[in-house]
Amino acid sequence: MNENENPGSRVGQIQANDLDEGDNAQIIYKILATESKRNDRKSMNILEKFKIDPQTGIITTLSSFDRETQDLYTFQVLAEDKLDTTKRDTTTIIVKIEDVNDNKPILAQSEYAFSIEEGLFGATKIGTFKATDADSEANGIFTYRLFPNESGEIKDDEYYNQFWELSNQYNSQFTYNQFYVNPTTGELQVTSQLNREEKSSYVFKVCVNDNGKPKAKISCSPVYIKVLVQSILF
């Protein structure tokens, strides 16, 4: 089942068979095990998370689940004869919590500042952007892009998300001005020689997208580039 589903969501149904007929064939279902180990090795009461209908065997949830806290629950269900409780059997239930894209990627720095000498050739590495995401698999695979922000005006991430969706149509925004970001590695490069006399600084945004489904999430940080006077060797 997916994480973040509302309490009362159906997990599944247990069905036991009894060869007797009528009242003698009535079966009562119970959750037997009361503890399940969490990811942090602490025990929790499984009866706080799940319940079973004693007549139908339908298992439902009593709370919502966060996969990043715990992704697997294991417990036992007992099926016993209603008229003779010595006649019983058990089965093990394993509930896997599937990931949904509920965490946005986080860039390692809230802002980046780099310095680069003027006159350096294109494809010179300036630095690397790094991001993390608590989600798993496809919900935590990053793509990096650059967006203008010369004015330094503060815009929230949703503002840039509009441009991201537009740039998806053209597979663009890996370059801005004379800078390029590798969309996969996050490495920032200068694409051509900079001239400090023409422009001594640059400001733009780096944004990272987690490619999550059904809706990707985005996070952005400002980037400040200072162009230094070229070193002269004698």
d(CA 27, CA 87): 10
Residues 91 and 112 in one domain: no
Give the structural domain span for 88.
Answer: 10-96
d(CA 192, CA 120): 8
Amino acid found at 102: D
Residues 179 and 85 in one domain: no
- Identify the CA nearest to 140 among candidates 211, 71, 207, 191: 211
Give the chain's mean pLDDT. 85
d(CA 122, CA 33): 64
Could you give the percent of the chain with pLDDT greater than 70?
A: 86
Residues 27 and 110 in one domain: no
Q: What is the pLDDT of residues 125-176, one digit of tens each?
A: 999 999 998 887 666 789 999 988 876 666 777 777 777 776 765 556 788 8
Q: Which residue has the tokens 């390029």?
A: 180
Q: Which residue has the tokens 């209603």?
A: 82
Q: What is the pLDDT of residues 91-106, one digit of tens each?
A: 999 999 988 888 889 9
Residues 6 or more apart whose CB falls under 8 angstroms from that of 91 comprise 14, 76, 77, 79
Three-state SS for 5?
coil
Distances (CA, A) of 30 to 74, 80, 132: 14, 8, 42
pLDDT at 128: 97
Whether 5 is covered by a domain: the verdict is no
Whether 39 is covered by a domain: the verdict is yes
Whether 223 is covered by a domain: the verdict is yes
* Domain count within the chain: 2
Whether 4 is covered by a domain: the verdict is no
